[in-house]
């Protein structure tokens, strides 16, 4: 155990040394004595209003003031307060020598400058313009809660402050024991502040935790707290990976001008050579943009034999920008161009923080887009063109669509039409795809190549053996929809809401005649117009019961919708309406499809009952239960399209499955929600979810259980069942232990989990996480389960460092931020 602690201390010291080796962005300069911080406050003196302006004159208040006319000295003794040139000095005794123009303060000295910086000392000797002098037993507190102390500080030329035996920290003193060393502090034999350069230089520095030395640096420098941008070296970076070995990176930041800068980040790798990185940023009057470029001439491209990275030169360019046209309109872009799709993954350039705050996963795609967005009081406009670049091994670029463009506009009129609300919306979507994207949903289809068989009998899809997720060719659709609704309340309290809408779709499709596509859709050119008029009536009759313990509202709800059949049902591409989950949340939706490519048709009635109880002592319970009925015409959800959207949803029969929801919140601490879908004929559970959460002062826990019946037409051949749980416990005021796990009940195993512990306060962050997650490794056909350990350490004003070690699965590495 002792050996483990010693190894951890050595390793932690190495990490902290890496963190402190570069130019680190301090927010202030502020130490105590050579032995550490003590917080003996001077006696409280009566406050005198500070003169707003003294016109170069000195204002002094004290118990006793003496004038020595022979020596031209003024002495103030007892609770002295002096205001001069924007600085307030308090002390037991102050002497001002008019001949030498020196100011001396002794005993419990407290000096506050115009910037709010407070200096405590036993003795101060300064020139009257504060350009030269010295301070004994100094401590300085700044407005941003950083502190510096020293046994002595000398000031020369109005520019250099030299702190002898200086100590710096960004931690607040212990409330119970102010003499106790802070959580961390940096000691230096000398700390030099060059006010012209706005730099702090530390000589013979050591980092201490709770007064115990942990890391030593003979020298390091950093911009002073007033500097937001300063040319110099940034935090060093170290990483390891099986493909490029060890990588060492020290970024250099170049503040070229107040509005633009450049960061160069050369990374030397032991196996592949020098990886160059550069980022240029500029802020303009109406926005900002940045460009980042990468490049490497690989020394051993054979490492990537048979993979996308098997080439000599690899690199890429990223850019993003956003600009405001006015207070309602913005436009911008994101752009990614790479030599190969694996470049970011292989060189660990696409890491991002996940929900747990750790660098544990990688982005799966690059997005290039150009967009224009406008927001009005009751309107919204968004237009963008998008190109997706897939990074994952399973991604086939020719099967990923190019969006050119997608445009959305919606508006709600600010005046009534026929006494009701009138709104309209439009959508233009135009995409193209080189190759068809098939999804075999049965074992036979996956092994027999049925999806790609041009001569296969279309009846072989009954039940569906394959899905066509993406249509090859070009597909464009323009949709416009106008809606109106108005609510009436009759004398009996019944609420009647008539509504009407008219939707029109203009569709132009040019579908490539690739193998298997004709089994799903007609190939070639297709131009058509689809119109869907809708009228309906919604009825609600709330019954309210008031009791001493609370109020209960029971509300029957009925909705009748009249419209024609969906035209071209299942015979047109479906790109944006492939998701279909029927539950209580969309029971009363007029159109239950998730996108525009499908339009629900036929007469339908949605009925249900809702009950809500509000308890006078807090808390509420809500229950909703209902069913949907196909009244006449064709049932759109029973029609198989190229993705089988709606099939196995519970809406395919004239009487839908029953759906229900129960939500209960007894107070702000607990919350329970269940959702269920029951088979309309057998009452078997087709879909069930239960969520529970509790939040206390020191701990919180949440859990969700899911149970889903097989949906063979969508590729889910067996029942799925699992539990996802998370928990967090605050062991002390700053210590937190958290964790989460997913338990696959069908396979009887925990397939993903995370456990972690962390310390967080205003000046220090320490987090250790152990995580399992599925990831692609070396572009294999199937994902592997990786195990990672992540350690993060952060010192406020000095920076944060992190080390990640992947134990199995993906490559290992260490990160710095």
**483, 423 contact by CB (below 8 A):** yes
Calpha distance 659→582 (Å, rounded) = 8
Q: How far is CA 788 from the centre of its chain?
A: 21
Calpha distance 283→260 (Å, rounded) = 6
24 pLDDT above the threshold of 60: no
Give the model confidence (pLDDT) of 294-318 as tens digits: 999 999 988 888 888 899 999 999 9
For β-strands 212-223 and 232-233, DSSP reports them as unpaired
10 pLDDT above the threshold of 70: no
Calpha distance 83→61 (Å, rounded) = 9
- Give the 3-state DSSP-derived string for 582-632, with helices as H, strands as E and coil as C: CCHHHCCCCCCCCCCCCCCCCEEEEEEEEEEEEECCCCEEEEEEEEEEEEE
Torsion on CA atoms 461, 464, 470, 474, rounded to nearest 10: 40
447 pLDDT above the threshold of 80: no
Task: Tell me what percent of the residues of the chain surpass a pLDDT of 70.
Answer: 83
Q: DSSP labels for 136-161?
A: EEEEEE-TTS-EEEEEEEEEETTTEE
Q: CA angle, corner 142, sides to 223 and 189, nearest 5?
A: 60
What pLDDT was estimated at residue 28? Answer: 30
Give the model confidence (pLDDT) of 554-608 as tens digits: 999 999 999 999 999 989 999 999 999 999 999 999 999 999 999 999 999 999 9
Q: DSSP labels for 57-111?
A: --EEE-SEEEEETTTTEEEEEEEEEEEETTEEEEEEEEEEETTTTEEEEEEEEEE
What pLDDT was estimated at residue 753? Answer: 80
What pLDDT was estimated at residue 220? Answer: 76
Q: How confident is the model at residue 259 (pLDDT cuts 50, 70, 90)?
A: very high
- Among 24-38, 419-433, 768-782, the least confident range: 24-38
What pLDDT was estimated at residue 165? Answer: 87
Q: What is the pTM of this model?
A: 0.76
What pLDDT was estimated at residue 357? Answer: 39
Measured between alpha carbons, how far is residue 129 from residues 109, 490, 530, 790 in Å? 18, 82, 83, 52
Calpha distance 575→404 (Å, rounded) = 14
**155, 142 contact by CB (below 8 A):** no
Kindly report the average pLDDT of the chain as a whole number. 82
451 pLDDT above the threshold of 80: no
Q: Is 148 exposed, middle or buried (0-12, 13-18, 19+ CB in 10 A)?
A: buried
Across 633-747, the runs of DSSP E, i.e. the strands, are 658-665, 670-678, 685-695, 699-708, 720-730, 735-744
3-class state of residue 652 by DSSP: coil
Average pLDDT over residues 786-800: 71
Calpha distance 181→172 (Å, rounded) = 10
H or E element that contains 316? strand 313-324
- Among 102-116, 678-692, 717-731, the least confident range: 102-116
What pLDDT was estimated at residue 11? Answer: 39
Q: How confident is the model at residue 37 (pLDDT cuts 50, 70, 90)?
A: very low
Q: CA angle, corner 96, sides to 94 and 102, nearest 5?
A: 115
Calpha distance 106→119 (Å, rounded) = 13
Measured between alpha carbons, how far is residue 767 from residues 282, 350, 794 in Å? 34, 22, 9
768 pLDDT above the threshold of 90: no
Average pLDDT over residues 235-262: 84
Is residue 508 reached through a cis peptide bond, with omega within 30 degrees of 0 on the bond before it?
A: no
Calpha distance 175→89 (Å, rounded) = 26
5 pLDDT above the threshold of 70: no
Measured between alpha carbons, how far is residue 183 from residues 119, 140, 178, 590 in Å? 22, 18, 12, 60
Nearest to 688 by CA among 542, 583, 795, 580: 583
Q: Is 619 left (phi over 0), alpha (psi -120 to 50) or beta?
A: left
Nearest to 152 by CA among 166, 131, 133, 136: 136
Q: CA angle, corner 243, sides to 242 and 245, nearest 5?
A: 65
Calpha distance 225→145 (Å, rounded) = 11
Give the model confidence (pLDDT) of 65-122 as tens digits: 888 888 888 888 888 888 877 788 888 888 888 888 888 888 888 888 777 778 888 8
634 pLDDT above the threshold of 50: yes
- Among 231-235, 548-552, 675-679, the least confident range: 231-235
362 pLDDT above the threshold of 70: no
What pLDDT was estimated at residue 802? Answer: 60
Give the model confidence (pLDDT) of 726-742 as tens digits: 999 988 778 888 888 88
Calpha distance 27→225 (Å, rounded) = 4
45 pLDDT above the threshold of 70: no
- Among 60-74, 223-237, 687-701, the least confident range: 223-237
What pLDDT was estimated at residue 110? Answer: 87
Average pLDDT over residues 248-260: 90
Q: How confident is the model at residue 367 (pLDDT cuts 50, 70, 90)?
A: very high
Find the length of the chain: 817
Nearest to 341 by CA among 333, 329, 349: 349
- Among 146-150, 388-392, 778-782, the least confident range: 778-782
Nearest to 694 by CA among 706, 686, 703: 703
353 pLDDT above the threshold of 50: no
Q: How confident is the model at residue 6 (pLDDT cuts 50, 70, 90)?
A: very low
Average pLDDT over residues 123-151: 75
* Residue 11 DSSP symbol: H
- Among 474-483, 488-497, 762-771, the least confident range: 762-771
- Cβ atoms within 10 Å, residue 667: 11
What pLDDT was estimated at residue 701? Answer: 94
Q: CA angle, corner 341, sides to 339 and 346, nearest 5?
A: 95
H or E element that contains 8? helix 2-20
Q: How confident is the model at residue 545 (pLDDT cuts 50, 70, 90)?
A: very high
- Among 243-252, 404-413, 802-811, the least confident range: 802-811
Average pLDDT over residues 168-187: 80
What pLDDT was estimated at residue 483? Answer: 97
Calpha distance 473→398 (Å, rounded) = 11
HSE toward the beta carbon, residue 498, CA cutoff 13 A = 6
817 pLDDT above the threshold of 60: no
Q: How confident is the model at residue 443 (pLDDT cuts 50, 70, 90)?
A: low
**303, 342 contact by CB (below 8 A):** no
H or E element that contains 361? strand 359-362
Q: How far is CA 632 from the centre of its chain?
A: 47
471 pLDDT above the threshold of 60: yes
445 pLDDT above the threshold of 70: no
Calpha distance 586→575 (Å, rounded) = 21
Q: How confident is the model at residue 401 (pLDDT cuts 50, 70, 90)?
A: very high
**101 phi/psi in degrees, rounded to 5:** 55, 45
Task: Tell me what percent of the residues of the chain surpass a pLDDT of 90.
Answer: 45
352 pLDDT above the threshold of 50: no
Average pLDDT over residues 403-425: 95
């Amino acid at each position: 155990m002792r050996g483990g602690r010693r190894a951890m201390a050595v390793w932690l010291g190495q990490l902290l040394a890496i963190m402190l080796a570069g130019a680190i962005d301090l927010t202030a300069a502020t130490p105590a004595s050579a032995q550490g911080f003590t917080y003996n406050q001077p006696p409280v003196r009566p406050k005198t209003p500070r003169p707003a302006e003294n016109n170069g004159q000195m204002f002094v208040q004290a118990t006793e003031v003496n004038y020595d006319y022979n020596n031209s000295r003024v002495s103030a003794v007892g609770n002295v307060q002096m205001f001069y040139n924007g600085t307030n000095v308090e002390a037991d005794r102050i002497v001002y020598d008019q001949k030498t123009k020196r100011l001396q303060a002794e005993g419990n000295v407290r000096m506050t400058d115009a910037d709010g910086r407070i200096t405590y000392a036993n003795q101060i000797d300064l020139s009257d313009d504060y350009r030269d002098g010295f301070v004994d037993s100094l401590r300085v507190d700044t407005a941003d809660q950083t502190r510096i102390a020293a046994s002595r500080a000398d000031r020369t030329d109005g520019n250099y402050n030299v702190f002898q035996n200086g100590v710096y920290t960004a931690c607040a003193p212990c409330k119970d024991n102010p003499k106790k060393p802070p959580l961390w502090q940096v000691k230096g034999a000398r700390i030099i502040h060059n006010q012209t350069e706005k730099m702090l230089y530390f000589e013979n520095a050591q980092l201490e935790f709770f007064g115990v030395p942990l890391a030593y640096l003979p020298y390091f420098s950093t911009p002073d707290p007033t500097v937001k941008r300063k040319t110099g070296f940034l935090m060093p970076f170290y990483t390891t990976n099986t493909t490029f070995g060890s990588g060492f990176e020290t970024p250099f930041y170049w503040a070229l001008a107040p509005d633009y800068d450049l960061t160069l980040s050369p990374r030397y790798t032991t196996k592949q050579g020098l990886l160059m990185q550069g980022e240029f940023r500029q802020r303009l009057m109406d926005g900002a943009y940045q460009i980042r470029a990468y490049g490497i001439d690989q020394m051993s491209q054979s490492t990537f034999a048979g993979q996308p990275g098997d080439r000599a030169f690899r690199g890429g360019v990223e850019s993003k920008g956003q600009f405001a046209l006015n207070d309602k309109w913005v436009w911008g872009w994101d752009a990614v161009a790479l030599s190969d799709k694996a470049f970011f993954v292989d060189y660990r350039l696409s890491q991002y923080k996940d929900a747990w705050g750790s660098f544990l996963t990688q982005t799966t795609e690059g997005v290039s887009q150009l967009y224009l967005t406008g927001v009005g009081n009751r309107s919204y406009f968004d237009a963008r063109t998008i190109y997706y670049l897939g990074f994952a091994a399973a991604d086939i670029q020719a099967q990923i669509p190019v969006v050119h463009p997608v445009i959305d506009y919606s508006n709600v009129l600010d005046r009534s039409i026929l006494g009701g609300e009138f709104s309209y919306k439009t959508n233009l979507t135009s995409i193209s795809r080189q190759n068809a994207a098939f999804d075999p949903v049965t074992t036979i289809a996956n092994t027999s190549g049925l999806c790609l068989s041009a001569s296969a009998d279309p009846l072989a899809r009954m039940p569906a053996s394959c899905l066509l997720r993406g249509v090859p060719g070009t597909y464009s659709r323009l949709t416009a929809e106008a809606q109106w609704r108005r609510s009436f309340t009759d004398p009996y309290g019944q609420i009647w809401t008539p509504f009407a809408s008219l939707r029109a779709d203009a569709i132009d499709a040019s579908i490539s005649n690739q193998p298997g596509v004709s089994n799903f859709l007609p190939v070639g050119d297709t131009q058509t117009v689809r119109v869907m008029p809708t009228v309906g009536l919604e009825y609600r009759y709330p019954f309210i019961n008031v009791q001493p313990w609370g109020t209960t509202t029971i509300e029957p709800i009925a909705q009748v919708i009249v419209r024609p059949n969906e035209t071209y049902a299942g015979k047109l591409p479906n790109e944006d309406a492939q998701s279909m989950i029927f539950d209580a949340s969309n029971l009363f939706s007029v159109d239950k499809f998730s996108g525009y490519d499908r339009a629900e048709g036929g007469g339908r009635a949605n009925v249900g009952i809702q009950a809500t109880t509000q308890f006078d002592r807090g808390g509420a319970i809500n229950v909703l239960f209902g069913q949907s009925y196909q009244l006449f015409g064709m049932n759109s959800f029973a029609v198989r399209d190229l993705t089988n959207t709606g099939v196995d949803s519970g809406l395919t029969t004239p009487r839908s499955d029953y759906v229900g929801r129960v939500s209960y919140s007894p107070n702000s601490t607990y919350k329970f929600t269940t959702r269920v879908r029951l088979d309309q004929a057998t009452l078997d559970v087709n879909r069930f979810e239960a969520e529970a959460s509790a939040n206390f002062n020191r701990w919180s826990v949440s859990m969700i259980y899911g149970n889903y019946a097989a949906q063979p037409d969508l590729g889910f051949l067996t029942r799925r069942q699992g539990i996802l749980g998370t928990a967090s416990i605050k062991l002390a005021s700053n210590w937190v232990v958290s964790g989460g796990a997913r338990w696959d009940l069908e396979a009887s195993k925990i397939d993903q989990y995370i456990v972690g512990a962390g310390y967080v306060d205003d000046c220090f962050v320490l987090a250790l996480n152990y995580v399992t997650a599925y990831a692609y490794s070396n572009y294999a056909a199937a994902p592997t389960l990786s195990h990672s350990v992540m350690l993060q350490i952060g010192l406020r004003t000095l920076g944060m460092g992190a080390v990640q070690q992947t134990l199995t699965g993906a490559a290992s590495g260490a990160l710095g931020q």
